[in-house]
Every structure is written in C-alpha cells, then in structure tokens.
Amino acid sequence: MPHRLRALSLLLTASIATIGLGPAHAGDTVATYLERIRTIDQSGPTLHAVLAVNPDAAKEELAARAIKGPLAGKVILVKDNIEVAGPLPTTAGSWALHGNVTGRDAPLIARLRKAGVVILGKTNLSEWANMRSGSSSSGWSGVGGQTRNPHALDRSPCGSSSGSGAGVAAGLAWAAIGTETDGSVTCPASANGIVGFKPTLGLVSRTHVVPLSHSQDTPGPMATSVADAALLLNGMAGSDPLDPATLEADKLKTDFTAGLATASLKGVRIGVLRKQAGTEPKVQALFDKALADLKAGGAELVEIDYTFPADLGRDELTVLLFDLREDMGTYLRGLPGNPPLRSLADLIAFNKAHADLELHWFGQDLFESAEKTTDRAAYEKARANSLRLAGVEGIDKLLATNKVSFLVAPTSGPAWPIDLVTGDHDGSGVGAGTLAAVAGYPHLSVPMGAVEGLPIGLSIIGAKWDDAHVLQAGAAYERARTVAVPVPSLKRWGD
C-alpha cells in the first residue's frame, strides 16, 4: 500500500475507533448513530447504506422515554420500500418515486412506533427489490448509488435489503427492517455478517410496502443477534385487516424472545442439505465446522440428499413477473393524491425518459417481461406447482420423511466483487433459501464465520408458523458456535 493510502487508512481507523465501529451497544443514542452515519456512511468509506435520515429522530427518542417496554428507545433503520410517516419519501430506490411522501406509516411501522421504537432513517436497496433487470448489481439504486459491504468495500452487500444489512453490520443503528421475496433479507445478512430472519409469510403485514409479489413478499428483522431480531419481530408481527395473508397472525404470534436464553440443541434432529453447500472447499469446510458445533451442542445430524426440481425456478419466475405487474399497479394507483405513475408500464416509460438517471448501468428487461406476462391461467398453474414443489413436496416432505425439525445449509457463498457493468456474479451454487421463499416458511440466517474475511451465514429453515422454534435453534447455535465472527474492516478485500 502506498504511503499516502497507508496514512489515510490509519487516520480512518483512528476515527472509527473514536466513534466505535461495529455492533450497536445498549447506550447508543440517535446522536451516536448520526455521527457514525456522517463518518462511515456519508464520508470515509462511504458505504451508501443510508438513503435519508429522519429529521425528527431526536424528538422521537425523547418521546420514547415515556413508553415502557423492551423496544422503547431502540433505534432502527427501515428499508426504503416501506412507508414511514413524516417528511421522508418512500422511493424503492427509484427516481420515479423520489417525491413519494405518503404521510402514512405502514402498519408494521405503526406497531413499532407504539412500542417506542425510534425510526432513524431509510436504507438504500437494490432498486425495485432487485426485480428491474437480470443483470443488476445488488445494492445499487438510482437514488442511492451502490451500497458497499463494510467487510470488503469492493464486494457486494447482496440484496435487496443491502443498506439494512450493511447499516447494521457497521453499527449505524441497533437493528433494521428488510423485506424478502427470495433471499433479500437472508443473503444481505449472510454477506454482511449479521442475523436476518424471514418470517412465515403472513406473520407481518405488507400493507404500504412497495410490492414485488404478494405471493412471496414479507418484511423481516435484521440485527446483530438472534435475540435482537426476535425482539424486533415481536413489535412487527400481527394481523392487518388490509392484508388477508395476516388473518391468523394475531392468533399464532407469540413472544419470540421467550426461551431463547435457555434453548438447547440436545436431541434435536437437524437435516443437513449437503448439496446446497456448493462446491467451494472453503465454504464446505466452514459449514462442516458449523455442523460440528451443532453436534457438540447435542443435535443429531441427518444427511439429506436433495436436488432442487428443475421447474421450481421457472415457475417461481412466472409468478414473480405476473405479480409484479399486478401488484405494482395496485400500489401506485393507491398512493395518496393523484400519482402521475399508475402502472408498471408508466414506470417503464419513466425509465426510458430518464435513462441518464436510471438506465446508465443496466436495463429493465424484467420490468418489460413482467409487462408482457398476462396469462392468468399459466400464472395460477405455475403458482400451484411452485408451492407444491417448495412446500408439500419440498420442506414438508424433507422434514417428515427424515424426521427432522429443521433444515440447514450455508445461506450464500462469499460476497462477490461489485460489478456495475455486467451485474452480480454469485456462481457459488450455495443456499436453500428459495424453498422457504416460495413456500412462505421461516428462514433464519446466523453468522457462522468467514471465508477469507468474507462472512457466511448458516441457514436454519423450519415448518410454516414454526418461527419461534427456528429462532430458538438459532440462539442455541449462537451459543454453540466456536468460530469467530468477523468484524467489519471498512477496507477493500485483501488490503
């Protein structure tokens, strides 16, 4: 490293040490987080994790002192496809929604505010939840630019909840909320070395969340520990009359923090999805260490030979494209006032008219495909088949046939180099999250270590509505884990 760069690196390290890089601490305040955002996110390494800061956050923090409860005063960031009342727009990362100030809280945000949670700001994301182009770069949006991974600044933070993952990892908030359609909470959690939980679809409301697919979308908590993720989920979960999928949520939700401190793996049968660990020897070796820790904690491991059905991905894509056109139009037409953009076709036209802002790095081939995906009969057939393959003949059958409580695999491979020209390059073949995403079942990613300094998560997947037990298994694994979890370096990989 040249002398000047070495000096700058030392200066940055000293600055970071002063403000305390890394996981948030109990005494951290809005002022502390804002200073970290200024020092780490807006300057220095410039993570581009935070799109906008709530100017009323300090006032909300003061007001939270009058509220009693475990969430009172907790400071969080919110992915910018979730509406938050106040002056901040909800953009989904696109200039098309740059002025989308709705003046309303999504029901999940209203629940959190009632519990005393402080909304610090909105996080960057893969634009339109990474469903605009097949050659996109995870973590890039027209409004926010490219989010960087705090563990390796030239590596992908994964997406689409990239800003939420990077922000939590860099200590820019106590926790954050992401959303997942397929991997958008769990992959950023894995790549950034934090905990991410995709709950059972229907546990958390999607009302006033910019949609991709009502068939698979769900918000989820992202934090530095399973206990913190469970605590945040407590405030998020519940029925919403405007979201039919949540009809049973009030009846089935529980205190998700209960039993975490004493949860045990003793006698728990866990299915090992070996093929979903990919072929990279270092990833497999790290997975083997996680399995050894699970076994040392008392778990009984059952090797499962499973191969993804060839038509699962095909049918999932059909569902997502059809839902995108339908659900996006419904959302746009339901915005307050008289929104100028009222359909997916309007968004496509906007992007073409503002190509300098939106289409510089990659196009909108998925948007255009979605606009042409109009065959409802084909859609319904694809949805039924994908649900069958992922649910009844997927997770349900794997759990029942092998008499196991959970399935485990690495969440993703190591973060790949950011490439704005040709897009993402995750060819690792790692992960089983698509099963949980399509079926709508709970999926937890917990850090299990790193490969060459790049974090890797352990996925724990369970049955529908078995969220509490999945979280308990994750907490038990955290205590059993013997491998060190990496701390963000805020440097380029290899420096």
Q: Which residues are catalytic?
A: 79, 160, 184
DSSP 300-368: EEEEE-----HHHHHHHHHHHHHHHHHHHHHHHHTSSS--S--SHHHHHHHHHHTHHHHSSS---HHHH
Q: Which of 481, 450, 475 lies closest to 460 in space, CA to CA?
A: 475
CA-based torsion, 328, 330, 331, 335: positive or negative? positive
Residue with tokens 């997502």: 320
Rounded distance, CA 311 to CA 451, Å? 32
> Which amino acid appears at position 311 of this protein?
D
Q: Cβ(442)–Cβ(462) under 8 Å?
A: yes
> Which amino acid appears at position 70 of this protein?
P
CA-based torsion, 369, 374, 378, 382: positive or negative? positive
CA distances from 397 to 155, 276, 387, 393 (A): 37, 17, 13, 5
Q: Cβ(173)–Cβ(180) under 8 Å?
A: no
Q: Which of 164, 261, 255, 191 lies closest to 414 in space, CA to CA?
A: 191
Q: For the range 15-21, what are the long-range contacts, defined as Cβ-Cβ under 8 Å and sequence gap of 24 or more? A: 15/39, 15/44, 16/40, 16/44, 16/490, 20/171, 21/170, 21/171, 21/487, 21/488, 21/490
Q: Which of 426, 434, 387 lies closest to 409 in space, CA to CA?
A: 434
Structure tokens at 194: 């934090």
* Angle between helix 467-480 and helix 281-296 axes, rounded to 10 deg: 100
CA-based torsion, 340, 341, 345, 350: positive or negative? positive
Q: Cβ(478)–Cβ(446) under 8 Å?
A: yes
Rounded distance, CA 31 to CA 53, Å? 12
Alpha carbon distance, N-terminus to C-terminus of the chain:
8
CB-based contacts of 257, cutoff 8 Å, min separation 6: 70, 227, 230, 231, 234
Beta bridge partners of 198: 443
Q: Which of 35, 141, 148, 152 lies closest to 89 in space, CA to CA?
A: 141
Q: Other C-beta atoms within 10 Å of 396: how many?
A: 16
